[in-house]
Amino acid sequence: MATSQQIVIVGGCGHVGLPLGLVLASRSVGMVTLVDIDAAKIESVNRGRMPFMEAGAEELLRKVGGKTLKATSATNCIRTADVVITVVGTPVDEHLNPTVTHLYQNLDALLEQMADDSLLILRSTVYPGVTKLVYDRIRSRGRKIHLAFCPERIAEGKALEELVTLPQIVAAFEPEAQARARRLFLKITASTIDLAPLEAELAKLFTNSWRYLNFAISNQFYMLAESYGLDFDRIRDAVVQDYPRMRSFARAGFAAGPCLLKDTLQLAAFSGNHFFMGHAAMLINEGLPNFILTQMKSKELSQQCVAILGMAFKADSDDNRDSLSYKLKKLLQVEAREVLCSDPYVRDASLIPAEEAIRRADVVVIGAPHSVYRQLRMPPNKVLVDSWGLWRAPDQNSREQPILVGSHRL
Ligand SMILES: NC(=O)c1ccc[n+]([C@@H]2O[C@H](COP(=O)([O-])OP(=O)(O)OC[C@H]3O[C@@H](n4cnc5c(N)ncnc54)[C@H](O)[C@@H]3O)[C@@H](O)[C@H]2O)c1
């Protein structure tokens, strides 16, 4: 394979495609074209502006944009591409079942345009067995397109760091596809791991489900401690202190976003709905907003104004996809006199500044523990619900502290 390649990333302006495109474009692998259907994102990328937050990405975009990287909605570049990487989304449907319809439609269009002897890399998180179905689809059409599955394992916000440090799992049915995919990823990271496609599909789903289950353990312990009027963070901190075996004991807080629940449900479907721990984790994590609401009910909510700080699905992010802060907002809109929402990063016209939300609210809930919130002043007459333990009171007897609910004493 030539060292200067034409690489096309389909879904290239998204959270997975764009960081990968930036890193590839900065490693002299050739020309990277990001194909996307979102005109606003394409325009933003071509103007050198990131369409979403990702540490270090805008700087890199300014270096490679217009040189070795460009974004477009035109798909004719696929015809001359040596490598096509597809990263379009793979959501679950309204029945919480994995859906591959969109992925297949997208793949059919790709296969029609791709040249023989080119390499197709699936990078979306897929339902187990999808790589084999795609492989069969290619062969049944008599096409000689090489196929690999190389799952993405980055966490949003750390993509540039993790793309070049995490080992890349590479899977294919044929040695040539495996070797070509491996060579490509060795341009950006130091090591790759070979697996069979089904193993690689499960490896990705195990990764996300394990994290989701892990967060559910903390959230279950949080609810347990809190329902006895105990401070979860105080207990957790004692457990992990100088005790390496408990390093993976996470803090409590909303476990949400576009991947963890969705991928746990893909594994549940694959198990024939016998993945009991996965479903239990879903009940716990999705139930945390309801638990917080129940905690707050002791405060006569119908007369209270409640502010939610942080509408993103996680800290220091502008991504509000499937954020549980919005679920909490809906629940509160039924129970509270007024609900105010704030987030410094999320684009949502209904949001107001944090200072105003705190000033007007009786009760303040931390939805996402953005680091900047540590600087906020919380007046002592406010009730604070902080399941994340963001504002752990240094001295809980101090009269300067607000009244604390959730991971702190009432
Ligand atoms: N977000 C993460 O942190 C993460 C991490 C690992 C894996 N994944 C997986 O990667 C995949 C993509 O996730 P994402 O977060 O990047 O989604 P995203 O929505 O941010 O990006 C998908 C992009 O694809 C574009 N798109 C949709 N249909 C298209 C089409 N037909 N042609 C061209 N472009 C099209 C969208 O406009 C969007 O820009 C999912 O399978 C997800 O599970 C995500």
Distance CA(234)–CA(407), nearest Å, equals: 8
DSSP-derived pairing of the beta strands 338-342 and 168-172? unpaired
Q: Is 304 in the pocket of ligand 1 (CB under 6 A)?
A: no
Q: How far, in Å, from the CA of 282 to the mean position of ligand 1?
A: 22
Q: What pLDDT is attached to residue 409? A: 32
Q: What pLDDT is attached to residue 142? A: 94
- What are the tens digits of pLDDT across the range 135-177? 999 999 999 999 999 999 999 999 999 999 999 999 999 999 9
Distance CA(391)–CA(339), nearest Å, equals: 21
Q: Where are the alpha helices (DSSP H) in 65-129?
A: 101-113
Sheet of 5-10, strand order:
69-72, 30-35, 5-10, 83-86, 119-122, 146-149, 168-172, 192-195
- What are the tens digits of pLDDT across the range 283-331? 999 999 999 999 888 778 999 999 999 999 999 999 999 999 999 999 9
Q: Is 157 in the pocket of ligand 1 (CB under 6 A)?
A: no
Residue 143, CB-side half-sphere exposure with 13 Å CA sphere? 22
Q: Is 406 in the pocket of ligand 1 (CB under 6 A)?
A: no
Which two tokens mark 251? 């803090």
Q: Is 14 in the pocket of ligand 1 (CB under 6 A)?
A: yes
Distances (CA, A) of 345 to 5, 24, 27, 54, 57: 36, 27, 30, 12, 16
Distance CA(131)–CA(170), nearest Å, equals: 12
Q: What pLDDT is attached to residue 295? A: 87
Q: pTM for the complete prediction?
A: 0.93
| Nearest atom of ligand 1 to the alpha carbon of 35 | 33
Distance CA(368)–CA(320), nearest Å, equals: 10
Q: How far, in Å, from the CA of 139 to the mean position of ligand 1?
A: 26
Q: How far, in Å, from the CA of 215 to the mean position of ligand 1?
A: 24
Q: How far, in Å, from the CA of 212 to the mean position of ligand 1?
A: 20
User: Which H/E stretch holds residue 71?
Assistant: strand 69-72
**Contact yes or no for 157/128 (Cβ under 8 A):** no
| Nearest atom of ligand 1 to the alpha carbon of 16 | 16
Q: How far, in Å, from the CA of 368 to the mean position of ligand 1?
A: 22
Best of 33, 52, 73, 152 to mutate for ligand 1, by most ligand atoms within 8 A of CB?
152
* % of the chain beyond a pLDDT of 90: 83
Q: What pLDDT is attached to residue 405? A: 45
Q: Is 89 in the pocket of ligand 1 (CB under 6 A)?
A: yes
Q: What pLDDT is attached to residue 158? A: 97
Q: How far, in Å, from the CA of 18 to the mean position of ligand 1?
A: 9
| Nearest atom of ligand 1 to the alpha carbon of 156 | 3
Classify the C-alpha dihedral 137-178-125-310 as positive or negative.
negative
**Contact yes or no for 366/407 (Cβ under 8 A):** no
Q: What pLDDT is attached to residue 35? A: 98
Best of 76, 210, 259 to mutate for ligand 1, by most ligand atoms within 8 A of CB?
259
Question: What does the pLDDT profile of the chain (410 residues) look like in tens digits?
Answer: 446 899 999 999 999 999 999 999 999 899 999 999 999 999 999 999 999 999 999 999 999 999 999 999 999 999 999 999 999 988 788 888 888 888 888 899 999 999 999 999 999 999 999 999 999 999 999 999 999 999 999 999 999 999 999 999 999 999 999 999 999 999 999 999 999 999 999 999 999 999 999 999 999 999 999 999 999 999 999 999 999 999 999 999 999 999 999 999 999 999 998 999 999 999 999 999 999 999 888 778 999 999 999 999 999 999 999 999 999 999 999 999 999 999 999 999 999 999 999 999 999 999 999 999 988 988 888 988 988 888 764 444 333 444 444 433 32
Q: What pLDDT is attached to residue 392? A: 66
Using CA atoms of 274, 275, 276, 282 in order, give the dihedral in degrees to the nearest 10. Answer: -130
**Contact yes or no for 162/59 (Cβ under 8 A):** no
Q: What pLDDT is attached to residue 299? A: 73
